[in-house]
Structure 1
Amino acid sequence: MIKKYSIKELLNKGKDVINKKVLVEGWIRSFRYSIFIILNDGSTIKNLQIILSKKLEKKIYKKITIGTSIQVIGTVIKSIGKKQYIELLSSDITIYESVNSSILQKSILQPKKHSFEKIREQAHLRFRTNIFSCVMRIRHHIAFCIHKYFHINDFFYIHTPIITTLNCEGSGKMFQITTMDFKKNPIDFTKDFFKCKTYLSVSGQLEAETAALGLGKVYTFGPVFRAENSNTSRHLSEFWMIEPEIAFYNLEENINLAEDFLKFIIKYILNKNIEDLFFLNEYFKKWNKNDKKYLLDKLYLILKFPFKRISYTEAIKILLKEEKNKNIKFFHPIIWGMDLQSEHEQYLVNKYFKIPVIIFDYPSCIKAFYMRINNDGKTVRAMDILFPEIGEIIGGSQREERYEILLQRIKDTNTDKNKLWWYLDTRRFGSVPHSGFGLGFDRLVQFITGMNNIRDVIPFPRTPNNAEF
């Protein structure tokens, strides 16, 4: 019986399969000199070279075009070429579906460079391109690695609701869910499906906190939604978040966990996806010749040094000093109490420290109600981890475990305490210090793959004015 192999499996076996008869399947990437087929099945960035037998019927040759899906039976031989160790001498080819040349010319599968905008228009086909197959394989392994990290560290995976009645942060726009006819005026939401106003969730944090206060260590990993009109290269309307919550953890322990978590993921991907990363690294070298910080160098830098940790107040002092001494003109004026802008974060990471930076103890006026107030009464036990190029990659805090203080914070921020009765209730039944953070999964994939636009690291991006496919 002839054994079927994926191309990755076959190439990895190398000399062990020479002279063996095998079966492979895939899509044709190129057809050269009417004898060499370059085949790929998505399992690896590498291709398998097929040598066509002279005994094949001529009608088969006419059906061989780029994109055509085929099955090949043949004998593995050692290649005389330098680009591959083995190749396949075909004895039989079955064509599943050929691609009409006129259709091919209009698609992104034709062998030429396309803009990312053009490729995005054909998102249903871009999995077949080299660069996006790399990104999607890396995306898969990052997701798997995240579950692995939490599993070996005794976290429990929980599913928090996608449908909610409250914005976790207390601000921002949300997608409303209803079965009501909005043409009717006024709308009586007590007659709606859930008998109240409901939305697509922006976070599972609050629900995860309740789970942590019974299970100790939990995490969520799922889709969340923002209805903000942020049509930038760093924002999506539908994206994925990882949110661990840990009972009996203070802010420092939370920061240690977050740094270890990020380094674990990057180390894992460097080990598991080095071929894909190398392809992306060479791609960016070719097309971004002015950028000397290549992808692999950037990833290894994350592992090389401990992240720099500074307070928000220290960060403000550094920025003011740099502005004065080096005559730097920031677009946004630097004032204590402001929310740091991307230009400030990137200066600290790229210019001043030149390594990832963790900023903690932010002003309470710019942070959410659930963050623990410090003894100074002005700052909260919050932290952000800033990475080169993309800025904030993790945001987290020690949560306010004291009932009266939490209640006052809810009132001060004009948050509806009636909708949070259950959240407040957890502070009356054996409340403990606890912490957590949120990591934007797609933004992490963007950083690791080096892609400039977050739309290019998710299979089917949902952004303002765009919900195709």
Structure 2
Amino acid sequence: MLISTLTLFRRAASASWLCPCVIGSKQHYCSSARKIRIRDALSSLETGSNIRIQGWVRSVRSQKNHLFLHVSDGSSLTPLQVVANSDLNTRGLTFGCAVDITGSLEKSPRQNQSVELQARHVEVVGECNPVDFPFKIKERHSLEYIRQFPHLRCRTNAFSSLLRIRSEAAAAVHSYFRDNGFVQIHTPIITSNDCEGAGELFQVEPAGNEHSLDKENPHFFSVPSYLTVSGQLHLEVMTGAFPSVYTFGPTFRAENSQSRRHLAEFYMVEAEISFTESLEDLIKLMEDLFKTSTEHLLSHCAEDVELFHKYVSPGHREKVDLILKRNFHVISYTEAIDILTRSSQQFIFKPEWGSDLQTEHEKFLVKHCGEVPVFVTDYPYDLKPFYARDNQDEPQHTAAAVDLLVPVVGELCGGSLREERPELLKTRLARAGLEDTYAWYLQLRQFGSVPHGGFGMGFERYLQCVLGVDNIKDTIPFARSSRSCLL
């Protein structure tokens, strides 16, 4: 029987003996090898299988007859050990280089690892100059040091762990809302609203003169437009059709701050629920979101979280476990001021009724409550934006607003019931000179509006709290702050 050339080629291509034992070759004949993530290889029980990995060398160790490599591909904190014959050409094989390796996955004789890769083919895909590389093979660099290299810090163990944790935490947040019947809303990044009313806005206009604009109205969108500071008002629109909605996306604040808990660009988790007239509903939702997401994170990213709790913030795991076991405290703003004024603590900002709580006050209140998160409710009415519901409790006059204070960062969440009573809302908007600007918001109350409320949670601050990270710039891939926009 005649066998076609194509059939012979296909048979040859599937043969394992076509994998050459070379290094540095630009040709690859390893079609029989199954490409696999290192995370999956480490947990594989299929020893003897022919696999292919691609990643970066974390260490190189040479012995008389063998070369030992630790290779990582970002899927796991633990690298895979690769064993290659020392007679291979090792040119270009250094710490930090990118490699493509094919070989047999075998049971490891070492007690601290279950498998290792016996290499048959090693290709250096991208060389790395170890002299100029800012990270050294046997050093544990601080978060502050690696922050200088935003284009390279993902190569370090600490920051690659952070990015895996961040990804899993985002998935946990989405999973929580999905499991509880919330509808995700993609709120706009460009908006004409200043939700917070603080004026800390980045205005948006086209660069250059390529757009032909009306000289009488120079704005691209016909009105002044800004990068969003919050998706809340857009979520409130959706409460006219959905009982539970949320959004999760970037927000922007033009704060001239270099503090350890502020960024100019950060991510916000925001939720809004309809048919509620009680802060208790919001408090329960915030606590449940925090605990459920954190338990998921500790379960699914145990190794990466342990790295932070062991080397970045020793002893912090005990605080996290305590947070998950205890019920969060609830106190009123008035009670908080009383606690602060009665304390012997010397504050930079004097605590007094009618003034906003400062970071030092927030952290003291958390410490006073045994390092367990605390909700502070019913703030002075004049401290809160126009949408916060009036408690109508003279003479103090407070708003149905709540903040969640947590260890490490202080304020993590802020929320309120929204003012659904048209006359009260109209009066407040008129007093602030915003009646025309928010005419659409007032109109919502005329067409099937219901009592509702919501909150926002800073995602990076959440990571700071769970991991014990002191500086918020170390919880986001590319930090943006005043006077700093690298990359």
Native 8 Å contact 1:402 1:431 kept in 2: no
> Retained in 2: the 8 A contact 1:48–1:87?
yes
**Counterpart of 2:152?**
125
* Structure 1 counterpart of 2:233, from 183, 206, 209: 206
The residue that corresponds to 2:330 in the other structure is 309
- Equivalent of 1:5 in 36, 46, 63: 36
SS of alignment partner, residue 431 of structure 1: coil
Q: How much does 1:113 deviate?
A: 3.7
Q: What is the alpha-carbon distance in structure 1 between the residues aligned to residue 365 and residue 50 of structure 2?
A: 58
Q: Deviations over 1:275-304 (max 9, x none)?
A: 11111122136xx6xxxxx23222212210
Matched, 1:49 2:68: no
Question: C-alpha separation between the residues in 2 aligned to 1:351 and 1:374?
Answer: 27
Q: How far apart, CA to CA, are the structure 2 residues paired with 1:73 and 1:142? A: 33
Amino acid in the other structure paired with 1:344: H
Letter in 1 for 2:304: D
Is 1:66 the counterpart of 2:95? The answer is yes
- 1:32-65 superposed Cα distances (whole Å, 9 cap, x missing partner): 1251101100001001111112452x3xx12110
Quote the offset at 1:244 in angstroms: 0.6
Which structure has the larger Rg over C-alpha atoms? Answer: 2
- Aligned equivalent of 1:282, options 295, 298, 310: 310
Distance 1:354 1:117, change over 3 A: closer
CA contact 2:381–2:398 (8 Å) conserved in 1: yes
Query: Aligned with 2:85: secondary structure?
Result: coil
Q: Pick one of 29, 43, 48 that aligns with 2:58.
A: 29
Tell me which residue corresponds to 1:221: 248
Where does residue 362 of structure 1 map in the other structure? 379
Task: Decide whether the 8 Å contact of 2:62 with 2:86 is kept in 1.
Answer: no
Judging changes above 3 Å, is the alpha-carbon distance between structure 1 residues 424 and 188 closer, same or farther for their aligned structure 2 residues?
farther
* Per-residue deviation, 1:181: 7.2
> Residues 436 and 73 (structure 1 numbering): CA distance in 2 closer, same or farther, change over 3 Å?
same
State the shift of 1:409 in Å. 1.6
What is the Cα-based RMSD across aligned positions, in Å? 1.8
Distance 1:298 1:127 in 2: 27
User: How has the CA–CA distance of structure 1 residues 306 and 188 changed in structure 2, closer, same or farther, with 3 Å as cutoff?
Assistant: farther
1:253 corresponds to which of 281, 284, 289: 281
C-alpha separation between the residues in 2 aligned to 1:458 and 1:22? Answer: 34
Q: Using a 3 Å threshold, how does the CA distance of structure 1 residues 109 and 415 change in structure 2: closer, same or farther?
A: farther
| Range 403-412 or range 384-393, more displaced | 403-412
What residue is the counterpart of 2:186 in the other structure?
159
Q: Which amino acid aligns with 1:329?
A: Q
Q: How does 1:63-142 map to 2 (within 5 A)?
A: 63-104=92-133, 107-108=134-135, 110-142=137-169
Q: Say whether the 8 Å CA contact 1:180–1:192 is kept in structure 2.
A: no
Deviations 1:403-433 (A, max 9, x none): 1101112233x24221111111011112211
Q: Which residue of 2 aligns with 1:237?
A: 264
Say which SS state the counterpart of residue 18 (structure 1) adopts.
coil
SS at match of 2:378: strand
Structure 1 residues 317-396: aligned runs within 5 Å: 317-321=338-342, 323=343, 327-377=344-394, 378-396=397-415
Deviations 1:282-338 (A, max 9, x none): 2136xx6xxxxx2322221221011001111111122222x2xxx332222121111
Q: Output the CA distance in 1 between the equivalents of 2:338 and 2:370.
A: 14
TM superposition shift of 1:115 = 4.0
Aligned pair 1:427/2:409, yes or no? no
Query: Alignment partner of 2:91: what SS?
Result: helix
CA drift of 1:245 comes to 0.7
TM normalised by structure 2 equals 0.88
**Shift of residue 445 of structure 1?**
1.8
Structure 1: gaps of 5 or more residues:
289-293
Aligned AA (2:449): S
Indicate the structure with greater helix content: 1
Query: Which has the higher mean CA deviation after the structures are superposed, 342-351 or 124-133?
Result: 342-351
Give the drift of 1:233: 1.2
Contact 1:189 1:195 in 2 (8 A): no
Distance in structure 2 (CA, Å) of the matches to 1:84 and 1:189: 71
User: 2:12 is matched with which residue?
Assistant: none
CA distance in 1, matches of 2:249, 2:173: 12
Render the CA deviation track for 1:77-106: whole Å, top value 9, x for unaligned.
2222233121112121111111133433xx
Secondary structure of the 1:191 match is: coil
Matches of 2:256 and 2:50, distance apart in 1: 56
> Which residue among 286, 292, 297 is the counterpart of 2:318?
297
Asked if 2 retains the 8 angstrom alpha-carbon contact of 1:172 and 1:228, the reply is no
Please give the alpha-carbon distance, in whole angstroms, between the structure 2 residues aligned to 1:47 and 1:181: 48
State the 1:438 CA deviation: 0.4
Report which stretch shifted further, 296-305 or 345-354.
345-354
Secondary structure of 1:173's counterpart equals coil
**Distance across 1 between alignment mates of 2:129 and 2:374:** 53
Matched with 1:150 is 177
Q: CA shift at 1:189, angstroms?
A: 6.6
Distance in structure 2 (CA, Å) of the matches to 1:140 and 1:3:
26
Alignment partners' CA distance in 1, 2:457 and 2:429: 24
Check conservation: 1:108, 1:122, Cα contact below 8 A.
no
Aligned mates of 2:87, 2:240 — CA distance in 1: 70
Q: What's the counterpart of residue 170 of structure 1? A: 197
Which residue is equivalent to 1:443?
Answer: 461
Q: Using the alignment, how far apart are the partners of 2:275 and 2:399 within structure 1?
A: 17
Q: Which range moved further: 420-429 or 76-85?
A: 76-85
Write out per-residue CA displacement over residues 427-465 of structure 1, whole angstroms, 9 at most, x where no aligned residue.
111221101000111111222222211111111111111
Query: In the alignment, what sits opposite 1:291?
Result: none
CA contact (8 A) 1:18 1:77 kept: yes
Structure 2: runs of 5 or more not aligned: 1-31
Deviation at 1:347, TM superposition (A): 1.2
The 8 Å contact of residues 426 and 442 in structure 2, kept in 1 or not, is answered as yes
CA drift at 1:180: 7.5
Q: Which moved further from structure 2: 348-357 or 45-54? A: 348-357
Normalised by the length of structure 1, the TM-score is 0.91
